[in-house]
């Protein structure tokens, strides 16, 4: 099970997240990756959606958390997604990456990215 993962890459949402008032007023696209670590053996054997994590449900969660903003920090946005995934889905661990393409930081930067990993508490 250690290597069993589901990855959803570049879930794109439009949000008004950022520290500056201009970022919050204008908004921009944000890219979100969600990587789940879970036991996928039952799904692999049965070909049953009920035995795995529904990708569409994860995308809906990302959209809902985005719409609950705005967030000043990418850390807060990514952390909220990670917490809700661990609280809501049968996963052992989740890694969330949130990217802000071309952030206004006074230099040409392709993207700013935050990565947060959360694990289900055992016991």
Domains of the chain: 5-119 (3.30.1130.10)
Q: Which one of the listed residues 63, 83, 100, 122 is annotated catalytic? A: 100
Please confirm, yes or no, whether 100 is among the known catalytic residues: yes
Other C-beta atoms closer than 10 Å to the C-beta of 21 total 8
- pLDDT (tens place) for every residue of the chain, 123 residues total: 557 999 999 999 999 999 988 888 999 999 999 999 999 999 999 999 999 999 999 999 999 999 999 999 999 999 999 999 999 999 999 999 999 999 888 899 999 999 999 998 754
Q: Nearest CA to 70 among 94, 108, 98?
A: 98
């Amino acid at each position: 099970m250690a290597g069993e993962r589901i990855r959803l890459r570049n879930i794109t949402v439009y949000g008004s997240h950022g520290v500056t008032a201009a970022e919050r007023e204008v908004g921009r696209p944000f890219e979100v990756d969600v990587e789940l670590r879970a036991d996928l053996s039952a799904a692999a054997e049965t070909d049953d959606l009920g035995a795995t994590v529904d990708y569409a449900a994860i995308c809906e969660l990302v959209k809902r958390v985005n719409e609950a903003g705005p967030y000043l920090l990418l850390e807060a946005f990514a952390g909220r997604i990670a917490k809700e995934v661990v609280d809501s889905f049968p996963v052992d661990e989740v890694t969330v990456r949130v990217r802000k393409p071309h952030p206004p930081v006074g230099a040409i930067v392709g993207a700013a990215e935050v990565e947060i990993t959360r694990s289900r508490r055992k016991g």
